[in-house]
Structures are given as C-alpha cells and as structure tokens.
Amino acid sequence: MQQVSRTAAIELSKPALNQNLLFLVESNVNHKELHEKGEKWMKDTASSYIIVNALFITIMFAATFIVPGGNNQETRFPIFLNEELFMVFIASDAISLFSSATSALMFLCILTSRYAKDDFLKSLPTKMIIGLSTFFISVATMMVAFSFALFIMLSDKSWIITPIIFLAEEYSIRKSNSGYKILKAYNI
C-alpha cells in the first residue's frame, strides 16, 4: 500500500515539476539582461565606494597619530590628552576608521561575489546595505572629528569656528539625507 501511494505521488508531481523547470528556464532567459545589468551596477557601485573608503581609512588612520596640537616633546603624549574635546575627537576618529574599514570589507565581498541569481535576493542587497550604512556612519563621524579638531585648535577664535563647523555639519546632514534616500530605495 505504501509503495502504491509513493508511486502515485511521484506520478502526480511530475507535471508540476515539469512546469517549475519550464518556469525556471524561461525566467533565466527572460531575466538574463536584468541579471547582467544588476551585476554591472553592483560592481561599479562597490568599486567606487571601495576607493573612497580606502581614502577615508588612510586619512583617519593618519589622524590617529598626527593629533591636533601635536605631542609633548618630553612625554611624547598628545598635548591635549586630558581634555574632553580631545577624547571626543579620538572616539569619533576611531569610529570613522572602523566603520570605513567595515564598509570597505562589505564592498570587497560584493566585488568577489559569484553573482548567482540567489545572491541577488538576500546576500548582495544585505552587503550593499551594510556597506552603505557604515560608509555614511564613517562620513558623519569624520565630520565630527573634524569639528572637534577645530574646537581644540581654535577654541579662543569662535568667530571662525562657528561658520566652518556649521558648513561641515550641514554637508554631513545633506549627505546623510542622500544616504537615507539610497537606503530607502532598498525598502529598509
């Protein structure tokens, strides 16, 4: 009895299996151009962002050692080491460095992907979202580090600091908004 039910189930499922295979073949043919365009867009986008991330990593790494105000010649520690503004500068610099490195790794994963059809469903969009999100975090924290470096260096000249920081933060906010629009396009 069990053998008969197994055989009947296999025979009944053959037409459905054939329809599914036919659908897969047709979708592969019909979506080949879309697949190629998606692959090209992913590669171009990842290539562009990985170059910018490499520049950010270089700048933020250098800013860790070439600190505002320089180092004390006797102790070799930063002159402003005990100031709260300096700690905010170092923290934002480190966050920018790490988020930029994370972003670069995500874009590197995209570039080395095999670009299979299944990758476009979850893997590649997830990597792109993480890469873009951490990139915008890196930009925002880099602007914070820049602003606090100005505060540290020019604390007695607020007439020049205020407009510069306002412009830097305005730029950062505008870029964050454009980044939000990009992420919104991914339906997040």
Residues 67 and 111 in one domain: yes
Residues 88 and 10 in one domain: no
Residues 29-65: tens digit of each pLDDT: 667 787 888 889 889 999 999 999 999 999 999 888 8
Residues 3 and 60 in one domain: no
Residues 158-170 have a mean pLDDT of: 75
Residue whose C-alpha is closest to residue 125's, from 137, 114, 110: 110
Residues 7 and 49 in one domain: no
Residues 44 and 126 in one domain: yes
Residues 4 and 91 in one domain: no
Q: Which domain holds residue 17?
A: 1-30
Residues 22 and 85 in one domain: no
Higher pLDDT pick, 17 / 126: 126
Residues 5 and 41 in one domain: no
- The count of domains in the chain is 2
Question: pTM above 0.75?
Answer: no
Residues 62 and 135 in one domain: yes
Residues 129 and 166 in one domain: yes
Neighbours of 128 (CB within 10 A): 22
| Residue 164 pLDDT | 75
Residues 91 and 173 in one domain: yes
| Residue 162 pLDDT | 76
Residues 3 and 52 in one domain: no
